[in-house]
Structure formats: structure tokens, C-alpha cells
A = this chain, B = another copy of it.
Amino acid sequence: MTDTFVVVGGDAAGMSAASKAKRDDPDLEVVVFEKGEWVSYGACGLPYYVKGEIQSLEALVSVTPEEFREERDIDLRTGHEVVAIDPDERTVTAESESGSVVQSYDHLLLATGAEAVVPPIDGIDREGVYTLGSMSDGKELREYVARARDGESFQQPDRGPACQYLEDCTGPVGIVGGGYIGLEMAEALAANGFEVHLFQRGDRVLTGFSEATSEAVADHLREQDVTVYLESEVAALEGGGAVQGGDADEAGAVETVVTADERVDVEMVLVGTGVRPRTDLAEAAGVELGPTGAVATDDYCETNVPDVYAAGDCAEATHTVTGDPVYVPLALTANRHGRAVGQTVAGQPTEGGDVAGTAAVKAFEVEAARTGILDHDDALEAGFEPVTETVDAKSRAGYYPEGGTVTVTLTADRDSGRVLGASLVSEYGEGAVHRSHAVVGALEAEATVFELENYDLAYAPPFNTTWDPVLVAAKVLAGKLR
């Protein structure tokens, strides 16, 4: 009798697990329930679809439902929402248009993902207020942009400041949130001729990165004619039919972003204030959540309920540096943990691996990456005594005709010298993101800055100065610790 592996959720973690399990154990019966119509899609690509650099939503799909069904022999059921799990009976109940189905499992993976946080802002439900979490969100936003451009066809915009498109400008737009989505959508909208106003609650954009990175990125946004409002929590989104002080008329489209200091007229608002894990189904089944509010798992991504796994944006992971559970809902972890679960279920127990909290972003013509622990409070809480240095280093040999600056922030523990984290920023193409690979290697190895400064990194004039910017930062920080 063959085992049945049931997966709830058909995106990165779920389909990675299903594919790997079936490949490693073709006898396994693999059933995936996905409540929507899309599976295995690259949500990270949505801003580029809205921007017009990608011409169809289908292009974001790496493997189609038909391929999963026919080539990979996976019983993929789209339009099926799992509404209950019975861990004692080892069954899940799924509902679809054609009714309810009870499916038994031997192994179960919860890959229910995350959903956009909708902050409790007055008027957030107005017409013209968007989020960008799902494929349908992307479709709506692209349709909005197309309408605003008055039917003018999308072309791949050249690089360059938004102002070059301002002749076409159809109206100011507001972005709430200065994280990845906020920055990528600022680029996407500016490239289509919109005047962009970006509102950030905290005192800097990209709060998980170093201050130097945040400042460099914010400066660049301003150079690109994005108006950046810091320490500007949005109090209300006013619009048509709204009565001052009264309830917003939800039918009225958004017209004004209101903060404590500003009233900015806009024609649409994009809200990008983070995501939270979808855990209702897990909680109802007695699956424990961890301190972050996401599903708690062990090294093998297994939950407290035997044979029930969780992976991807609904689950916690263990931090490389602190060893503590963290919630870092990013694509690589989802793929990696999903794949590990698939391998485990197929008979080869495989750890999911830690996360260093590594992340990268491009915004207009700037790129940035971060990894590890940068925040001093976080470091202190984990028992370290953090010391941080920031250096500006040349991205290529000084005499080389191309090149710019890479700003590297590096944090280490004073006592041990252990590297704790880094944040890098450069012009797009000057390698801040790929150079961060060296620091990730150091974090995974629990290396000290004294070791990192001796890393034999590749050098040639078109790629760095003799000491790569990462080594320059390590050298300076090591000097401070000696």
C-alpha cells in the first residue's frame, strides 16, 4: 500500500515539496490542494509585470498545472480550499465549487503562505487602494496602470529617472510602506509616468537594512523624483463622499493621503506594509505557533503534530546567527524547506536548514542586500556585544573606466569577533547584492572578522579593488576590535 502525501497550498513551498517527493519516490501518491487557480508562480516578479517589463502573468509561472499533472504525475487540485484537518483521523477536508471532499494523508504539508497586512487606516477599503500579494492583485494593478495611461500600450521603459515620462503623467500616486514592495512599486509606477509619493511610518526606508543603506536608497529615490515622507504614519485615506471626521464612504475613490503633517492628493494608493502568516487552518488543527506567530517547526520542518510539516511563508525558521526562531517569509526559504520536506517524506530525512535573514532589492538604479543580525538590540538580546562599521569602497579598480561606490555596513561581536551581519548598497550593476554572498558564507561558517578579512576573494580590475569592498569593511572592523 502506497503512502499519500497531501500538500495544502500550491506555491513555492508546496510545489517544491510535491515535486521533490514524487521525483524521489514515484510510488508516493501526492495530492496538492490549492484554493486559487495559480500555482508555482513567482510573486516576486509582480512589480515587473505591473511595470510592463513582463508581458503576461503566465510568464511568472515556472511550471503550469498541466505540467504538474501530466509530466510530474501530481494530483493537483486547483480551486480547492482546505477548510479542516483532522490529525487523529489523518484527513483533510477540502471544498470546491463541486462540493466537499475528504482526503486521507500519511504525511501532510501546510504551505498556506502569507497574506498582505492591511493596516487599520481609515479609508483603506476605498476604491483605488491596492495591495500586491497575489496574481489577481498584480492583474488589477496592471489594469489600473493601463487605464491611467489611457490605453497607451506598455513598452519596456528605458532606465532613467521618472521625470522623463512626466509628459504622460496622469496623476500622483501614494505608496504606503518603504519595504521591498513599496520600493519596487515606486520604480514600476514612476517608470510609467506616475508622480510617486512614498509614506514610511519609521524614520527610514528598508528598516531591516543598515541606516547607511536606508539613507543611500532614500537619496536615490529622491533623485528619481519620488517624494519620500519619513516618520509619516498614514492616518487616513480620504476620498469621494468622505465627510471630515465621519465614516468614509467606501464607494468613494481615494483622493488624499493624510498624515499628521501632510495632506497629499493622489489618484491611487498602493499599500505595502508587510505580510503575516496564514495560520488559521493550522491553529484549528492543534498545530502550535511559535513566538513569531508563524507555525513552529523543528529542524525537519515538522510541527508538533506528527507527520504534519509546515514550510514557506506560513512557518518559522531557525536563525543562522542566533539559533532562535524567526519569521522571514522569503522565496528561497520556501523553496528550500519545501524541497527538504519532499525529500524527507520520500524517505530521506533532510533538514531544512537555517535562514540568515538574507534579502535583496533593486529600486530604480540602486541595489541593496542585507544578511544576519544588524540591529544592536537584536544582537544584545542574542547575547552578543555588537560593533558596527560602515565603509564606502570603490566597486572597481580606481583607474578602471566604469565603477561606483559600494557602501558596506558590517556588524560583529566585540568579544569573539564573530561576524553577525552586513548590509550593502551600490548602484545597480556594481555588485552590492552578489558581494553579500561572501558575508553569508562567513555567517554560515560562524567566521570572525579576522577570518573574513583574510578571505581569498576573486579580484580583477573590472570587478573590485584589490580588496573587495567586503574585505575593506572586514579590515576596518577588525582593526577596531583588535
Contact = CB atoms under 8 A, between A and B. Distances in A.
A356 interface: yes
A480 interface: no
Complex A-B, nearest 7 residue pairs according to Cβ-Cβ distance, in ascending order: A441-B441, A445-B445, A353-B454, A434-B434, A437-B438, A360-B458, A360-B460
Contact of A442 (B180, B332, B441, B467): B441
Contact of A435 (B45, B437, B439, B456): B437
Contact of A53 (B60, B156, B401): B401
A306 interface: no
A482 B349 CA distance: 12
Contacts of A335: 466-467
Nearest to A61: B399
Contact of A463 (B48, B355, B433): B433
Interface in A349-367: 351-362, 367
Given A437-B470, A441-B445, A359 B458 contact: yes
A55 to B, nearest CB: 9
Contact of A440 (B359, B433, B456): B456
Contacts of A459: 44, 330-332, 358-360
5 contacts: A44-B461, A54-B400, A362-B462, A433-B460, A434-B463
A460 B44 contact: yes
Oligomer: number of copies: 2
Interface string A293-319: 000000000000000000000000000
Contacts of A418: none
Given A332-B467, A431-B434, A456 B358 contact: yes
Nearest to A443: B456
A388 interface: no
Contacts of A429: 429
Interface of A: 12, 42, 44-45, 48, 53-54, 59-60, 62, 156, 180, 320, 330-333, 335-336, 348, 351-362, 367, 369, 371, 397-401, 428-429, 431, 433-442, 444-445, 447, 451, 454-463, 466-468, 470-471, 482
Nearest to A339: B475
A330 B461 CA distance: 12
Contact of A456 (B355, B367, B433): B355
A45 B440 contact: no
A359 B466 CA distance: 11
A361 B471 CA distance: 19
Given A360-B460, A367-B463, A156 B401 contact: yes
Given A42-B399, A358-B458, A441 B437 contact: yes
Given A54-B399, A335-B467, A441-B437, A42 B461 contact: yes
Given A358-B457, A437-B458, A439-B441, 6 more contacts: A44-B461, A54-B400, A336-B467, A352-B454, A362-B463, A444-B445
A193 B389 CA distance: 47
A356 B451 CA distance: 13
Given A441-B444, A444-B445, A451-B444, A458 B371 contact: yes
A42 B360 contact: no
A459 B334 CA distance: 12
Nearest to A352: B454
Contact of A348 (B353, B433, B462, B482): B482
Contact of A454 (B156, B336, B442): B336
Contacts of A336: 454, 467
Contacts of A369: 458
A456 B45 contact: no
Contacts of A44: 397, 459-461, 466
A357 B467 CA distance: 15
B48 A401 contact: yes
Nearest to A335: B466
A303 B478 CA distance: 26
B438 A435 contact: no
Nearest to A424: B458
A422 to B, nearest CB: 10
A260 B431 CA distance: 45
